[in-house]
A = this chain, B = another copy of it.
Amino acid sequence: MRIAIVGCGQLSRMLALAGIPMGIQFSFVNDNGAPDTVCVDGLGIIANWQAGDSAAELFEQLGRPDCVTVEKEQLDVSLLLALEAHCPVYPNSLAVSACQNRHREKQLLQQLGIPASPYTVGESASATLTSLSLPLVAKSCSEGYDGKNQWVIRNAQDAAEFDAACAGDDYIIEQWIPFEREVSQVSVRGRDGTICHYPLAENTHTAGILSRSIAPAPDVNPAMVLQAQDYMQRLLEELDYVGVLAMECFVTPSQLLVNELAPRVHNSGHWTQSGSVTSQFENHVRAVAGLPLGRTRMHGVAGMINLIGTAQAPLQAMSGNCTVHWYNKSVRAGRKLGHVNFSADNLAELQAEMARFTASAGDTILL
């Protein structure tokens, strides 16, 4: 069994590290022309590809994989379409395409009756002021993640400035949601249609980048858990989705509003490596390989802290309750270089342990 993954980043690394113990082999597509494949060096075949290259040749270079999957949505969907002629691609190109563009994502949610924030597309910010109320958030349709390419529009002057700067660009403009907090639902669907849900995680962002997660999300109304699972089931079935899908939601007093979908394993699910019977990485591998899914049940409570711009792996700050994951990437401010998973018997113990870690790791971590 050989699985090829489009992308050479830390998510590909952790997918491979979850599948190698089962004897599964991996190949990686380096599709961004960057020489930095350090996350996956040694873990399998690495093949370069760029727009215009032959997919048939790539398929051979990848060692004729049994299936192809992805670690990211920002990729050339024509590559997935071309590879689909050689082997199954999970999730399918339609699902990746729907999630890589904010407008198509909004249309999908609307079509399935899944609540999301109201928006305009193809309209200027100034025109949007007549249909939506301030504040607004303008987001690039195709290139936004980790808070990049987002404009907050608080007044008419902001709107005019945005229109002057971004006229003709491809963006949507959303009503800003006064949310209480952000949670995410990570779920997995097997080739046979079986669906397993992880518990909701609560996420905290720093400067637009996910900085920490806690699961299960504290004080969540049980009806909201069911709502998240219901949204997920509709999405997974509509897209005939195979693998892990992540859904970020805003918690509002009345309901969950979907903020964003990611057709892949997700940073807000990294805690599953320590906190669940089966991690999101192992379950994605099991799903795309056509194997029975593993249980998603938790052990106690779990947490995750991202190591952003951290100079070196803070291994000495580990304790019995936590494990550092380090991606071997070159250090750069604002870059996700690793994460730490925490497990504990209860929320108070978890929070104390996360506080102890950040105090102990001190200057080595930048959060």
Does A235 lie at the interface of the complex (its beta carbon under 8 Å from any beta carbon of B)? Answer: no
State the CA gap A349–B323 with chains docked (Å): 29
Distance between Cα atoms of A282 and B274 in the complex (Å): 12
A294 near B277: Cβ-Cβ < 8 Å: no
Interface string of A319-354 (1 = CB under 8 A from B): 111011111100000000010000100000000000
Q: Among the listed stretches A15-23, A149-157, A158-166, A212-220, which one makes contact with chain B, having 4 or more residues with CB under 8 Å of it?
A: A15-23
Tell me the number of copies of this protein: 2
- Asked if A22 and B320 sit within 8 Å, CB to CB, the answer is no
Q: Is the CB of A277 within 8 A of B278?
A: no
Bound Cα distance from A164 to B227, whole angstroms = 78
- State whether the Cβ of A42 lies closer than 8 Å to any Cβ in chain B: yes
In the complex with contacts A43-B42, A292-B319, A320-B292, A22-B299 CB distance below 8 A:
no
CB distance from A304 to the nearest CB of B (A): 14
* Cβ contact of A326, chosen from B21, B320, B323, B328, cutoff 8 A: B21
A224 interface contact, C-beta 8 A? no
Q: Which of A97-105, A203-211, A310-318 has 4 or more CB atoms under 8 Å from chain B? A: A310-318
Query: Given the known A-B contacts A21-B325, A23-B327, are A316 and B291 also in contact in the complex, defined by CB atoms under 8 Å?
Result: yes
Query: Whole-angstrom distance from the CB of A23 to the nearest CB of chain B?
Result: 3
Q: When chains A and B are docked, how far (Å) is the Cα of A196 from the Cα of B319?
A: 13
With a CB–CB cut-off of 8 A, which chain B residues contact A299? 277, 299
With a cutoff of 8 Å between Cβ atoms, the chain B residues found around residue A22 in the complex are 313, 315, 323-326
**Does A293 sit at the interface, judged by CB under 8 A?**
yes
Q: Is the interface on chain A under 10, 10 to 19, 20 to 34, or 35 or more residues?
A: 35 or more
Q: Which residue of B lies closest to A25 (CB)?
A: B328
A8 within 8 A of partner (CB): no
Query: A82 vs B292: C-alpha distance in the bound complex, in angstroms?
Result: 48
A284 beta carbon closer than 8 Å to chain B: no
Closest CB in chain B relative to A238 CB, distance in Å: 25
CA A316 to CA B43, docked complex, whole Å: 23
A44 at the binding interface (Cβ < 8 Å): yes
Which residues of chain B are within 8 angstroms of A274 by Cβ–Cβ distance? 277
Complex CA–CA separation, A325 to B326 (angstroms): 23
A14 contacts partner chain B, Cβ-Cβ < 8 Å: yes
Docked-complex contact A295 and B282, CB < 8 angstroms: no
- Nearest CB on B from A2, distance (A): 13
- Is there contact, CB below 8 Å, between B315 and A1? yes
A-B pairs with the 6 shortest C-beta distances?
A: A23-B326, A295-B320, A299-B299, A23-B313, A292-B318, A21-B325
Q: A291-B318, A294-B320 are in contact. List 19 more A-B contacts (CB 8 A).
A: A14-B21, A17-B17, A21-B323, A22-B325, A23-B315, A23-B327, A23-B328, A277-B321, A277-B343, A278-B323, A286-B318, A289-B315, A291-B316, A292-B318, A292-B319, A293-B320, A294-B323, A295-B320, A299-B299
* Subset of 5 A-B contacts with CB under 8 Å: A277-B321, A278-B320, A282-B323, A292-B318, A292-B319
